[in-house]
Amino acid sequence: MNHRLLFASAAATLTLGITVALTYPAAAGQAPDPAADAATAAGISPQVLQAMSRDLKLDPAGVRARLADEARAGKADLTLRKSLGTTYGGAWLSADAKTFTVGVTSQAQADKVRAAGATPKLVAHSLAQLDAVKAQLDAVAAKAPKAIPGWYVDVAANQVVVLARTGADAAGFVKASGVDATAVRIDASTETPVPYIDVIGGNAYYIGSGSRCSVGFSVSGGFVTAGHCGTTGSTTTQPSGTFAGSSFPGNDYAWVRVNSGNTPRGLVNNYAGGTVSVSGSTDAAIGASVCRSGSTTGWHCGTIQARNASVTYSQGTVSGLIRTNVCAEPGDSGGSLIAGSQAQGVTSGGSGNCSSGGTTYFQPVNEILSAYGLTLLTGTGTPPSSPPPGGSGCTGYEFSRNGSLSSGGSAYQPDNSYYQSTASGTHRGCLAGPSGTDFDLYLQKWNGSAWANVAQGATASNAETLTYSGTAGYYRYRVHAYSGGGSYALGFTNP
């Protein structure tokens, strides 16, 4: 069709540069806002705010401040991990989230970190080197003594931590693996992780003759959950469906295709008489606050301690997990881990309980979506009425966003904001809207005074892709419902 000009560049106020001032004095003498108003201001549900306040010992104003600090840190990290390249040593937030530290292996890169508003720390190993050490341990996981419950990268300490219970020959395991022992620390541990299988996480579902697990997050056609809950082909009830894919151990993920009559929604049960709306699946930073939903213990919150952790269950080792200090108990398996409104992962297993505290591991949700080509449902969870381009979704992209538009409406992504590319390279975008509609995608660049279109996918289709080779600068995507409305999925990768 002959499209008219869909966007006229208009002057906008934009402060060039990323401001990540993460060291703020605490506000004194402020009375906390009512819970509902405070939650609205923070962009989260009152139930999430209440759980964060309880478990992180924060008043509503403190929750808002923490989430704002975490958002700024996430934006800075997105830029720095690309611009620092092989010198990037990982990044983490302080316990109160007010200081964002970035490790660098070269002192010459410290000014670049400071310019982004973060605190540089000179480290011996890059994150890529630490990940390589961990990958080497993963490769020989089958030879690990049973008294070694797992290992993970501790970015703040710039080491790979191997956990060992009494009597474990951890040093022998490390030596036999052939890794650089100077990059490894052995910590005594009482963890005895087990998969949380006979339990309810978000909403309960039953497998086979009656074992129970929990729904993680809704996707088009079904939901994702823990892989140890069922094998491919296993049937479920309440909701009824079939495991369309499952992987455990090695991974701990699965997805269930539900039968007609079951309607997936982009919501999580908060066990406080309501639900939490999911708006995307952007990874939260190490040190960021997260909350878990489970029917055994309800809502509980804590922080991310590590990503790409490995944990050894009796069935075998699972790698690539999110390690947290959020408590959980048997009955919470497969349930939802969420940061604000961003889906993070599904409950795998852990140690401890919600009386004395514990460690819980989560399978990252984006890995599940990518493995099976699934689309995360957001908001009220109304699925697109047709599959995304190519029938496999906008997968294989570095970032993803979801939303919903009425006919003629527009949305700006990521998150009604923009991103920065510090180097020249290729930008790729993919948009999938409902069938029978005409959704268009525009890539815009800040030219110093206004946003200008630099690439577009504007056919008469509901599915669009674009590619643009550009220089460093500030970019954003405009999603436009030219004709018709409904839910959309956006995937994008930038230099």
pLDDT of 405-450, one tens digit each? 888 888 999 888 888 888 888 898 999 988 888 899 999 998 877 8
* Structural domains of the chain in order of their starting residue, each with its CATH number: 35-122 (3.30.300), 127-188 (3.30.300.50), 389-493 (2.60.120.380)
**Is it the case that residue 386 has pLDDT exceeding 80?**
no
* 3-state DSSP percent of the chain in helix, strand and coil, to 5: 20, 40, 40
**Is it the case that residue 41 has pLDDT exceeding 70?**
no
Closest CA to 12 of 459, 489, 447: 447
The per-residue pLDDT for 379 is 67
The per-residue pLDDT for 200 is 32
Least confident of 105-109, 335-339, 458-462: 458-462
For the ranges 75-84, 358-367, 396-405, 425-434, the one whose mean pLDDT is highest? 358-367
Mean pLDDT, the chain, rounded, equals 83
- Residue 50's pLDDT band, with cuts at 50, 70 and 90, is confident
Q: Which amino acid makes up residue 245?
A: G
Q: Is 252 a known active-site residue?
A: yes
* Rounded Cα gap, residues 152 and 409, in angstroms: 45
Mean pLDDT of 71-91: 90
- Residue 217's pLDDT band, with cuts at 50, 70 and 90, is very high
Closest CA to 173 of 26, 312, 336: 312
Catalytic residue among 154, 220, 228, 400: 228
- Residue 378's pLDDT band, with cuts at 50, 70 and 90, is confident
Mean pLDDT of 228-247: 92
Closest CA to 432 of 455, 411, 461, 410: 461
* Rounded Cα gap, residues 1 and 19, in angstroms: 42
167 Rama sector, left if φ>0, alpha if ψ -120 to 50, beta otherwise: left
Q: Any idea which residue has 């402060």 for tokens?
A: 15
The per-residue pLDDT for 390 is 33
CA angle (213, 217, 223) in 5-degree steps: 70
Mean pLDDT of 115-121: 95
**Is it the case that residue 201 has pLDDT exceeding 50?**
no
pLDDT, tens digit (0-9, with 9 covering 90-100), for 295-330: 788 888 999 999 999 999 999 999 999 999 999 888
The per-residue pLDDT for 4 is 26
356 Rama sector, left if φ>0, alpha if ψ -120 to 50, beta otherwise: alpha
Least confident of 21-30, 137-146, 156-165, 328-337: 21-30
Instruction: Measure Cα distances from 206 to 224, 294, 331 in Å.
Output: 14, 15, 12
In this prediction the pTM is 0.58
Catalytic residue among 189, 218, 333, 400: 333
> Which stretch of DSSP H or E encloses residue 60?
helix 60-83
Mean pLDDT of 261-269: 83
pLDDT > 70 fraction of the chain, expressed in percent and rounded: 86
Greater confidence, 198 or 350? 350
213 phi, psi to nearest 5 deg = -145, -165
Least confident of 38-42, 82-86, 228-232, 376-380: 38-42
210 Rama sector, left if φ>0, alpha if ψ -120 to 50, beta otherwise: left
Q: What is the DSSP string of 108-168?
A: GGHHHHHHTT-EEEE-SS-HHHHHHHHHHHHHTGGGS-TT--EEEEETTTTEEEEEE-TT-
* Rounded Cα gap, residues 340 and 360, in angstroms: 18
Mean pLDDT of 257-261: 84
> Which stretch of DSSP H or E encloses residue 53?
helix 46-56
* Rounded Cα gap, residues 459 and 309, in angstroms: 43
**Is it the case that residue 114 has pLDDT exceeding 90?**
yes
Catalytic residue among 69, 77, 252, 438: 252
Least confident of 6-10, 186-190, 282-286, 363-367: 6-10
- 489, 432 in Cβ contact below 8 A? yes
Mean pLDDT of 94-118: 95
Q: Which residues contact 102 (CB under 8 A, 6 or more apart)?
A: 76, 77, 80, 84, 88, 89, 90, 91, 113, 116, 118, 119, 120, 121
The per-residue pLDDT for 418 is 85
Q: Are strands 119-122 and 100-104 parallel, antiparallel or unpaired?
A: parallel
The per-residue pLDDT for 81 is 86
* Rounded Cα gap, residues 178 and 18, in angstroms: 41
Q: State the DSSP code for 56.
A: H
* Rounded Cα gap, residues 308 and 156, in angstroms: 14
- Residue 139's pLDDT band, with cuts at 50, 70 and 90, is very high
The per-residue pLDDT for 450 is 81
**Is it the case that residue 388 has pLDDT exceeding 50?**
no
Mean pLDDT of 136-161: 94
* Rounded Cα gap, residues 260 and 246, in angstroms: 21
Q: Is 300 a known active-site residue?
A: no
**Is it the case that residue 10 has pLDDT exceeding 60?**
no
3-state secondary structure of 42: helix
- 257, 374 in Cβ contact below 8 A? no
Mean pLDDT of 155-162: 96
